[in-house]
């Protein structure tokens, strides 16, 4: 006797019910299935289902006995997944259907009651928000760790001069500690953006159902509270159909990855032979298959490269979402892989940067040597002319420019000029001018708030260490 349409369909996917007379083609199954990647959401799916079941029992939609059976079944399923024994089935499409089908196998009718008052649309929106929220907490802790590593090194090098650059040309001396603290400030803003993102996403879609809400007397505030959300989402259409929380998260990730990439680029430059500002150990470098002398800063280069993956994830998801009418569309199944991939790349980049900051061995003598090159104290000379001789700054700038040209012609730095050389350009210059032309005097003079003076750097580094303790 042939199967009825109901039975044929249930063999393909029992969760669909009786609408379809036949199962999908192989190609349809392949393009439609997401369990290969959305199984990453299993912890959040179990948490959401536990909260939903507790609420259903509380309002009398299911019995206490059904809730307990569901609770026990979900606990057993969690153990199966953790131990690698869960029978994932692509015919069931996604993690949500896989868990629900397995639950029904284990606990029978109670498992079939769990989906009352919810849809996969609000279920996945809830699970995904929970996942992103968990990722924010983990990434935030990693950002803190990188900031601590940088602040620790800044304390140690608060007074060690290095060249400061604009246009990658020597500009003015700064201290190595000051340079490192610049990245602490950037990462702190990344951390702040993450906190803003977490605050905005922390509303619970569960109970919005497919798009219109539900006729069952559910308690959405209870499920929101049980899952640690601030409140339920206020509009069911919005709740199931937007992914701006994921986009905002990827936006923060892209900005932060850009910051990490800039620092990684500096590590690459600092390690190179013409600079030799720092050395990385074998732990964060690789060799060459043909050149035995090579020590390549591959960890830094890969951090730099992963920025492309993270930025690409943001652009990709923006493109997925840009033309979707309300409410849910299957296009939105493409939301998770870029977020999962970007999060992994971001987390690995943060771990690599933290490791390299702690591993790097600065050559402070080399930094000091180059800090005074390229006429780095020219601005100090101009400032002296303004402060001591009361020249307008533009006049002082021109005098200093002529003295730089004279020093360049003589093959010396500004401090190598004689007093007579200087007085030929400005007769009122005295020998006191040489007191401001050393690297140490230059950095010590930058005492304005946020400046590179070692006393400033030491205070800022100590403040950050205390804040991050």
pLDDT tens digits, one per residue of 297-318: 899 999 999 999 999 999 999 9
Phi/psi at 160 (5° precision): -85, 115
* pLDDT > 90? residue 2: no
> Residues 412, 413, 414, 419: what is their CA dihedral angle, to the nearest 10 degrees?
-30
Q: Cα separation of 333 and 348, whole Å?
A: 25
Q: How confident is the model at residue 13 (pLDDT cuts 50, 70, 90)?
A: low
Distance, CA of 363 to CA of 371 (rounded, Å): 12
- What's the pLDDT at 286? 75
pLDDT in tens, 351-404: 999 999 999 999 999 999 999 998 999 999 999 999 999 999 999 999 999 999
Q: What is the pLDDT of residues 433-445, one digit of tens each?
A: 999 999 999 999 9
pLDDT in tens, 89-113: 999 999 999 999 999 999 999 999 9
Comparing 49 with 93, the larger pLDDT belongs to: 49
Confidence (pLDDT) at 28: 79
Could you give the 3-state DSSP secondary structure of residue 279? strand
The predicted structure's pLDDT at residue 125: 97
Residue, of 44 and 10, whose pLDDT is higher: 44
Strand ranges for 78-230 from DSSP E: 161-166, 169-175, 203-204
The counts of H helices and E strands in the chain are 20, 6
Are 158 and 175 a contacting pair, CB within 8 Å?
A: yes
Instruction: Note the pLDDT tens digit of each residue in 124-160.
Output: 999 999 999 999 999 999 999 999 999 999 999 999 9
Contact 208, 233 (CB under 8 A): yes
Strand 231-232, strand 278-279: pairing: unpaired
Joined together, the tokens standing for residue 238 give 């919005």
A 10 A CB-CB count for 408 gives 12
| Residue carrying structure tokens 């987390």 | 347
| pLDDT for the residue numbered 3 | 33
**Can you give the three-state secondary structure of 223-245, one letter per residue?**
HHHHCCCCEECCCHHHHHHCCHH
Please report the pLDDT score of residue 444 as a whole number: 96
The pLDDT, as a whole number, for residue 18 is: 56
Q: What is the DSSP code (8-state) at residue 437?
A: -
pLDDT at 14 over 70: no
Residue 92 · residue 13 · CB < 8 Å: yes
Residue 8 has pLDDT above 70, yes or no: no
Identify the pLDDT of residue 319. Answer: 97
Distance CA 345, CA 353 (A): 12
- Angle (CA) 156-157-161 rounded to 5° is 165
Q: Which of 259, 236, 126, 249 is nearest to 195 (CA)?
A: 249
Position 288 scores a pLDDT of 66
Distance separating alpha carbons of residues 443 and 145, to the nearest angstrom: 28
- Report the candidate in 101, 165, 85, 105 with the shortest Cα–Cα distance to residue 370: 165
Beta bridge partners of 296: 286
Q: What's the pLDDT score for residue 1?
A: 33
Q: What is the pLDDT of residues 169-205, one digit of tens each?
A: 988 999 999 999 999 999 999 999 999 999 999 999 9
Query: Residues 261-278: what's their mean pLDDT?
Result: 95
Q: In terms of Cα–Cα distance, which of 228, 282, 253 is closest to 346? A: 253
Looking at the annotation, which residues are catalytic?
Answer: 167, 288
């Amino acid at each position: 006797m042939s199967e009825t349409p109901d039975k044929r369909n249930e063999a393909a996917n029992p969760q669909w019910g009786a609408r379809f007379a036949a199962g999908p083609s192989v190609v349809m199954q392949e393009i439609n299935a997401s369990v290969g990647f959305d199984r990453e959401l299993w912890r959040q799916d179990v948490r959401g289902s536990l909260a939903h079941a507790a609420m259903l029992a509380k309002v009398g939609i299911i019995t206490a006995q059904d809730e307990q059976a569901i609770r026990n079944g979900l606990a057993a399923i969690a153990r199966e997944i953790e131990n690698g024994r869960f029978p994932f089935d692509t015919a069931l499409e996604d993690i949500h259907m896989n868990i629900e089908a397995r639950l029904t196998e284990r606990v029978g009718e109670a498992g079939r009651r769990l989906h009352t008052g919810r849809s996969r649309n609000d279920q996945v929106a809830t699970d995904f928000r929970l996942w992103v929220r968990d990722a924010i907490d983990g990434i935030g802790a990693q950002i803190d760790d990188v900031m601590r590593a940088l602040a620790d090194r800044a304390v140690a090098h608060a007074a060690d001069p290095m060249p400061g650059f604009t246009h990658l040309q020597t500009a003015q001396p700064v201290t190595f500690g000051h340079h490192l603290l610049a990245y602490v400030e950037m990462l702190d803003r990344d951390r702040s953006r993450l906190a803003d993102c977490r605050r905005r996403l922390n509303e619970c879609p569960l109970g919005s159902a497919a798009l219109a809400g539900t006729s069952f007397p559910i308690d959405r505030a209870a499920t929101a509270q049980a899952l640690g959300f601030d409140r339920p989402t206020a509009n069911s259409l919005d709740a199931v159909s937007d992914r701006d929380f994921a986009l905002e998260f990827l936006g923060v990730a892209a900005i932060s990855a850009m910051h990490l990439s800039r620092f990684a680029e500096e590590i690459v430059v600092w390690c190179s032979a013409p600079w030799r500002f720092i050395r990385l150990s074998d732990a964060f470098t690789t060799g060459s298959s043909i050149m035995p002398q090579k020590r390549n800063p591959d960890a830094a280069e890969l951090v730099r490269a992963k920025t492309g993956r993270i930025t690409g994830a943001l652009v990709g998801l923006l493109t997925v979402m840009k033309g979707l009418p309300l409410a849910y569309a299957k296009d939105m199944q493409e939301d998770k892989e870029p977020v999962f991939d970007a999060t992994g790349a971001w987390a690995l980049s943060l771990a690599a940067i933290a490791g390299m900051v702690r591993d790097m061995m600065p050559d402070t003598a080399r930094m000091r040597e180059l800090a005074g090159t390229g006429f780095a104290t020219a601005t100090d000379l101009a400032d002296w002319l303004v402060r001591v001789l009361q020249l307008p700054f533009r006049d002082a700038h021109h005098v200093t420019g002529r003295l730089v040209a004279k020093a360049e012609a003589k093959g010396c730095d500004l401090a190598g000029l004689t007093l007579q050389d200087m007085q030929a350009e400005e007769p009122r210059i005295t020998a006191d001018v040489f007191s401001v032309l050393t690297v140490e005097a230059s950095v010590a003079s930058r005492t304005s708030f946020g400046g590179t003076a070692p006393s400033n750097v030491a205070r800022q580094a100590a403040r950050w260490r205390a804040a991050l303790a």
